[in-house]
Amino acid sequence: MNIYQEIVRALKPAALGAEVRRIVSGGIYTAVEVVSNKGGRALGLAYVEGDRCTGGEIGGCEGDRCRRGGGRSPLMDGGAKFPVSASDLLSSLIMISDGGEGKGRGVESSVATALASALAQLTLTEWETGDVLEQVSVKRGEGVTVVGGFPFTPRLAEMGAELAVFDRRLEDFDEGEMGAALNGADVVIITGAALANGTLPGILERIGGAREAIILGPTTPLVPEAFADTPVTRLMGVIPLDIDGVVEVIVSGGGTRGFSRYVQKVGVRVGK
């Protein structure tokens, strides 16, 4: 199963007739604004890895005006004018698959992932609210494997979890150790950025009998049907409540802390 193809398949109905009105990218996140054919408006976010904007430069497009920056996406080349068909752009998500041409392209991969997140918001009807540790209970002595950098990991240790944390950005990252920890964990928490950088399929393959496997963070597209045949039990992301406020933070190079006051943390369960 190709998780990227499953996401595209699940979101095709939402993409039909929808338009991409705005794409902006700062030093940390990319944002894609979508308007549906029924007038619904949503903003999807995605973390940028690899080729990103640095030194305050902004790569991205707003309206029909492109501003060149260090992380400018090939998807935004060619002087394309907005709005752009969401259906045409959605298929680029498949390129992020392991070995795909889009893997590791920084802003380009984040644009496709952010678009998926925006389209998913247009289809949501039910969700839970709150932080991950409010929605998921962790018992003392349970093995918890975290893939990515999250500020709540010290709390997991305080709760008595047997904690293993893996972050590819750190020098001591060990692929083999991560695989063993994923296989033996009771609870797995994975950064949504793993979807944008193409590493998510390999991570999911290594999960053993975890009772909870959560994909977490602003990059996470809330498309539970796409993950039905995976070990994932929950998808936890954000819904922007103030779209323009979030965009302003991202364009200025801000990240999660900057736009947290403009979003609501939400989660959806993956039915098995």
The answer to whether 129 touches 264, Cβ cutoff 8 Å, is yes
Q: What is the rounded average pLDDT of the residues 68-78?
A: 42
Domain ranges of the chain: 3-123, 128-241+262-269
Q: Distance (Å, rounded) from C-alpha 205 to C-alpha 248? A: 37
Q: Report whether 263 contacts 36 (CB < 8 A).
A: no
pLDDT band at 71 (very low <50, low <70, confident <90, very high): very low
How far is C-alpha 84 from the chain's CA centre? 21
- Ranking 8-12, 90-94, 158-162, 181-185 by mean pLDDT, the lowest is 90-94
pLDDT above 90: residue 51: no
Name the pTM for this structure. Answer: 0.87
Section 60-81 average pLDDT:
43
Mean pLDDT score of the chain: 86
Q: Which fold has domain 128-241+262-269?
A: Rossmann fold (3.40.50)
pLDDT at 174: 87
Q: Residues with Cβ < 8 Å from 104, sequence gap 6 or more?
A: 49, 50, 197, 198
**Cα(118)–Cα(227) distance, integer angstroms:** 17
- Asked whether 268 and 41 are in contact (CB, 8 A), the reply is no
